[in-house]
């Protein structure tokens, strides 16, 4: 194989590799995402104290107000 042929093969490989690379939009489309609700916005939390909320339904205890989980549901109000 000559140097020119090797360069041509390398150019083909580089072009192929860059065209096969997924874009950011492709990665977002294929991401497995679940909507989360922060405890302070959840309909299940009952009691509050500064920076903390009590969640009897999902967590079963006190958590930070900015905590979140996939089992929460957003309040209507």
The residues, any chain, with a CB within 8 Å of residue 36's CB and separated by 6 or more, are 68, 69, 70, 72
pLDDT surpasses 80 at 1: no
- The residue whose two tokens read 């104290």 is 49
> Which tens digits make up the pLDDT trace of 15-29?
766 566 666 766 666
Tell me what the mean pLDDT of segment 56-75 comes to. Answer: 78
């Amino acid at each position: 194989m000559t140097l020119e042929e090797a360069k041509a093969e390398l150019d083909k490989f580089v072009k192929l590799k860059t065209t096969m690379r997924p874009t950011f939009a492709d990665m977002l489309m294929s991401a497995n995402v679940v909507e989360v609700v922060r405890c302070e916005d959840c309909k299940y939390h009952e009691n509050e104290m500064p920076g903390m909320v009590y969640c009897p339904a999902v967590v079963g205890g006190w958590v930070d107000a900015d905590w979140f989980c996939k089992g929460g549901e957003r309040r209507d109000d």
